[in-house]
Structure 1
Amino acid sequence: MFNWLDRLENRRLLRLLLLFALGWVGVQLLQYFAYVLLIFLFAAILAFLLNYPVRWLKRYLPHGFAVTAVFLGTLALLIGLGITLGLAIIGQFQELITSLPSQIDLWIDSLERMEQFLEQWNLEINFQQLESELRNFALAGLQFGFGKLQAIFALFVGGIIVAVITFFMLLEGERLWQYLLSFLPDPWRDRVPQALERNFLGFFSGRLLLSLFFGTGTFIVLLVLRAPYALALAAIAGGFDLVPGIGSTIGISLVCLILLPKGVALSLQVLISCILLQQVEENILMPRVMRNSVNLNPVVLFFALLVGATVAGIVGVFLAIPITGTIVSLWDLKALQAGSGDPPQSSS
């Protein structure tokens, strides 16, 4: 009788044990240092992106002056966008939250009419539980609106921390990075930076570009269709699009649900237009933008998303894919990659 243990070579068994141990250690670290990792991750991505103009300016200026010029210019641009676009989005969110109770009443009226219509066909369905959940949702939205100042202050403090870390990464990060790499064995000193750059920096920069496209496209669609809260709803769609796999679908569903009290026709028009945008993003832009980034089997991708959400919530959702991609790249686990070919044939 075939014994599958005979197929496990010592090297393969060791790799599986190391992979399991690394995964367990990664989960524990992610749970404990989730906020710190997120701060440093955002700072590393910004430093990586800003390093390109810094390299160009270093042809004409010393390193310190080039870093300072690029950092201050980027900071001025972000502050300008925050004062103009950011305040406009916050204002529309405030209007949306203020009108939330009246929209909930319209949804409840629609449910009551649907319930009466079904009763005519001898279909008795009680929507009271759903109506209660909708009212709780409205109350939670109002509480979020009243507590928004505290959230904005925390976001502002986090942004300052990210900015400071980004500046020092640009200024002194190269020496620290080379020092950390010196602890790795020689073959890994090249593989680790390549895997991290491709899976972390490539993933987040690619997702950011795709989300900007989807958010901008949604904003144009909402303007053309004269939908209310265009900036706020486009920000919702673009923000959810950062989550790979199902993010854009969730964003589209929320936008159409919010617009439903404004008219079924408007909601359907937005739904169809956003689905077309989603198809353009996934079938035309994504293969080009993400071709040098994370390469994971879709089943592994969704599994990583669920594990990340369970372990560290929203932080885990954003970190799960690049962490999994880095592990797959470093250990060359081709069976977990997308388009890895036919599965290996087993022999008895």
Structure 2
Amino acid sequence: MWLVGRLSVVVIPVSIALLLAALLAPAVAHLVNIRVPRGLATAIVLIAGLAVLGGLLTFVVIQFTDGLPQLQKQLNNSLSQVRDWLINDLHLRQEQIQQFIDNSISFLQNNQAAITTNALTTASTVGEILTGFLLTLFVTIFFLAGGDRIWHFLMFGVPHHVRDRVDVAGRRGFASLVAYVRATAAVAVVDAVGIGIGLWIVRVPLVVPLATLVFLSAFVPILGAVLAGAVAVMVALVTNGFVTALIVLGIVILVMQLESHILQPLLLGRAVRLHPLAVVLSIATGLVVAGIAGALLAVPLLAVLNSGIRSLLHETDPHPEEVDVLHDQEAAAPNDDPAEAADQPGQS
């Protein structure tokens, strides 16, 4: 864990690239099966994925910019109501409220140096994020274009008499990762659509940005849903009042119950089913080791380890005929090295 923390700048992009490869590999394999060259198939899938991501982000920014004036107006009205409540109900004087505002402004001015330092730190963080994004994209290209050869190379470090079992365990682990990413994406879409429709019905502003936040946070189990729901409730409270906030809270709880009791058991199935305690502890460990990125990657890593270790412990005779995404990649991109081909399982 210490080593992972020290190398997080490299480990996190590679791990995210593996998640993206698990999400995009079926599309690449489908294109390869219809006689599209693997390099071209990888380029098509990546370009399409980046186009979808860029279009979504652009749409969210436009919606946020368009809804910001309305949000500011409603926020000013809410602050005026709070001020009237403080004066009329709590019997505070206007001078006391103004003094509090002046003290807040003085605090900001006195700590301007610390705020500037934090801004510079944020700029440095943005640079690290950009570098990590480029590294993630670079690694994803190689995972999609030559994941089978990378896996065969790693298998050379495994003793020959257990290579078949480790190979099958690794493929089953990757199959669990594919299932996890697909199911999580589907659940995230349902959460975003359900909560977005609820926010639109009760006329909460910034529906699209809030629904997008719900979609992204769904990839962090348990904690992500709580944080996104809290943000939606707070926006509803500030803009539309207490009753609307309670309605939004009910909508969020209803959608989360639908996710927990119907969607996740139906989509994830037994292959990647994990105990809630294991999920919470893995997320906590990920937060300690690598922050938000660690929380994002902890559960898929646990799913891969769970599937792979179960395969190693319970499979004494692996089934070579088992077909998964990696086998499809291997069939579509045969190994051209005779020496490596001679050392592959089943051909030695």
TM-score range, shorter chain: 0.5 to 0.7
Q: Offset of 1:212 from its aligned partner? A: 1.9
Q: Offset of 1:228 from its aligned partner? A: 0.9
* Partner amino acid, structure 1, of 2:250: I
Give TM-score scaled by structure 2 length: 0.68
Q: CA separation in 1, counterparts of 2:211 and 2:292? A: 20
The 5 A counterparts of 1:38-77 are 38-58=12-32, 59-77=34-52
Larger RCO: Structure 1 or Structure 2 (Cα < 8 Å, ≥ 6 residues apart)? Answer: 2
Name which of structure 1's ranges 202-211 and 311-320 shifts more when overlaid on structure 2. 202-211
Name which of structure 1's ranges 282-291 and 50-59 shifts more when overlaid on structure 2. 50-59
Task: For residues 246-303 of structure 1, give each alpha carbon's deviation from its aligned partner in whole angstroms, at most 9, with x where no partner exists.
Answer: 4323321221122212211211121112222222222221111211553322222212
Task: For residues 175-194 of structure 1, give each alpha carbon's deviation from its aligned partner in whole angstroms, at most 9, with x where no partner exists.
Answer: 11211123223222211231
Q: Offset of 1:157 from its aligned partner? A: 4.8
Q: CA separation in 2, counterparts of 1:94 and 1:246? A: 27
Name which of structure 1's ranges 324-333 and 90-99 shifts more when overlaid on structure 2. 90-99
Q: Offset of 1:96 from its aligned partner? A: 9.2
Rate the CA distance shift 1:112–1:293 in 2: closer, same or farther, 3 A.
Answer: farther
* Partner amino acid, structure 2, of 1:43: A
Rate the CA distance shift 1:188–1:212 in 2: closer, same or farther, 3 A.
Answer: same
Instruction: Name the counterpart of 2:175.
Output: 197
**Other structure's SS at 1:60 match:** coil
Q: Offset of 1:227 from its aligned partner? A: 0.9
Equivalent of 2:10 in 21, 36, 59? 36
Q: CA separation in 2, counterparts of 1:228 and 1:222? A: 8
Rate the CA distance shift 1:104–1:197 in 2: closer, same or farther, 3 A.
Answer: farther
* Partner amino acid, structure 1, of 2:143: M
Instruction: Name the counterpart of 2:302.
Output: 324
Rate the CA distance shift 1:46–1:282 in 2: closer, same or farther, 3 A.
Answer: same
Contact 1:43 1:165 in 2 (8 A): yes
Q: CA separation in 2, counterparts of 1:190 and 1:304? A: 25
Q: Offset of 1:233 from its aligned partner? A: 1.9
**Other structure's SS at 2:191 match:** helix
Give aligned-pair identity as a percent.
Answer: 22
1:269 aligns with 2:244: no
Q: CA separation in 2, counterparts of 1:260 and 1:282? A: 26
* Partner amino acid, structure 2, of 1:77: V
Structure 2, unpaired ranges of 5+? 92-99, 312-348
Instruction: Name the counterpart of 2:283.
Output: 305
Contact 2:204 2:235 in 1 (8 A): no
1:180 aligns with 2:154: yes
What do you get for the CA RMSD once the two structures are aligned? 4.0
Q: CA separation in 2, counterparts of 1:307 and 1:111? A: 44
Rate the CA distance shift 1:92–1:177 in 2: closer, same or farther, 3 A.
Answer: farther
Q: CA separation in 2, counterparts of 1:246 and 1:196? A: 25
Instruction: Name the counterpart of 1:20.
Output: none
Task: For residues 195-239 of structure 1, give each alpha carbon's deviation from its aligned partner in whole angstroms, at most 9, with x where no partner exists.
Answer: 2431x4433332222112211222221112211111222223333
Q: CA separation in 2, counterparts of 1:158 and 1:99? A: 38
Task: For residues 310-330 of structure 1, give each alpha carbon's deviation from its aligned partner in whole angstroms, at most 9, with x where no partner exists.
Answer: 222112211222333344444
Q: CA separation in 1, counterparts of 2:120 and 2:79? A: 21
1:168 aligns with 2:142: yes
How many residue pairs are counted as aligned between the two chains?
A: 288
**Other structure's SS at 2:226 match:** helix
1:236 aligns with 2:210: no
Q: CA separation in 2, counterparts of 1:112 and 1:146? A: 38
Rate the CA distance shift 1:290–1:168 in 2: closer, same or farther, 3 A.
Answer: same
Task: For residues 71-112 of structure 1, give each alpha carbon's deviation from its aligned partner in whole angstroms, at most 9, with x where no partner exists.
Answer: 3333333333333x2422553696699789858946965995
Name which of structure 1's ranges 45-54 and 156-165 shifts more when overlaid on structure 2. 156-165
**Other structure's SS at 1:270 match:** helix
Q: CA separation in 1, counterparts of 2:172 and 2:127? A: 36
Rate the CA distance shift 1:74–1:243 in 2: closer, same or farther, 3 A.
Answer: closer
Contact 1:92 1:231 in 2 (8 A): no
**Other structure's SS at 2:244 match:** helix
1:80 aligns with 2:58: no
Task: For residues 112-158 of structure 1, give each alpha carbon's deviation from its aligned partner in whole angstroms, at most 9, with x where no partner exists.
Answer: 589949xxxxxxxxxx9xxx8xx99xx99x99999988766665554
Equivalent of 1:281 in 241, 244, 259? 259
* Partner amino acid, structure 1, of 2:56: L
Q: CA separation in 2, counterparts of 1:293 and 1:114? A: 60
Q: CA separation in 1, counterparts of 2:147 and 2:260? A: 35
Q: CA separation in 1, counterparts of 2:305 and 2:226? A: 28
Q: CA separation in 1, counterparts of 2:304 and 2:225? A: 24
